[in-house]
Amino acid sequence: MNRFAGRTVLVTGAGSGIGREMTRQFVAEGATVYAADLDPADVPDGGVPLTVDVTDPDSFAAAVSRAVSETGALHVLCNNAGLASSTDTLACSVEEWDATFAVNTRGVFLGTKLALPHMLAQGDGAIVNTASAAGLVGLKDRAAYCASKGAVIAYSRQVAVQYAGTGVRCNSVCPGTVDSPWVGRLLAAADDPGQARAQLVARQPMGRLGTPAEVAAAALYLASDAAAFITGTELVIDGGLLAG
């Protein structure tokens, strides 16, 4: 398929995990992909690597400007960059709270704010924000993370309603536990990584963790013309976790 031939896409957090897989799939389907990351050394072949700090308006603006200046448009924005946090309220410092929101929520706001003028001017655009199943339910030891991802979901709905009918759509994907470098780092920090992984798998009704490719495929669907009547929704990819 070449669903995105002639389309310009910007993906943040493109250097690993879900964002890297988004980039790979968009490139495979014909898009020109600007792959943004704090360290873009490992973005997939075919992506245009950009060093971007999504918490910095100037850094993010430079990425959007480059994409538009080189291709003349910006059709898809995937606000995917994220920061992990694994503490409860008592253990979470103010600094950790602020850092989590700076990446997970402020970054989504900045990307959307910068992309919208171009999308509105062309009457065409899809914004896909990476939220989380943790934004829909409370999880232990995820105070800042749950709160920040819940904010992403609420913000995505507001943007969708605000710009409905303009040709610009905004949705979020809500992954459950995904077998990604992000989860790998959490497991590595556990007292018994093998046991911690087994516990994560055991809580999945489907009996396994998700894959970055599965989440990326969901994001590409929401960004595609096949989802033209979908805006303001959350696509949950969690192996049945929330249904249990």
Which of 34, 145, 155, 163 is catalytic? The answer is 145
Contact 135, 149 (CB under 8 A): yes
What token pair was written down for 43? 């973005």
What token pair was written down for 131? 């939220």
- Report d(CA 52, CA 59) in Å as an integer: 6
145 part of the active site: yes
Contact 110, 52 (CB under 8 A): no
Residue 80, class by beta-carbon neighbours within 10 Å (0-12 exposed, 13-18 middle, 19+ buried)? buried
Contact 224, 25 (CB under 8 A): no
- Report d(CA 142, CA 158) in Å as an integer: 24
| Category of 180 on φ-ψ map: left (φ > 0), alpha (ψ -120 to 50) or beta | beta
Say which amino acid occupies 97.
W
Say which amino acid occupies 203.
R
The catalytic site residues sit at 145
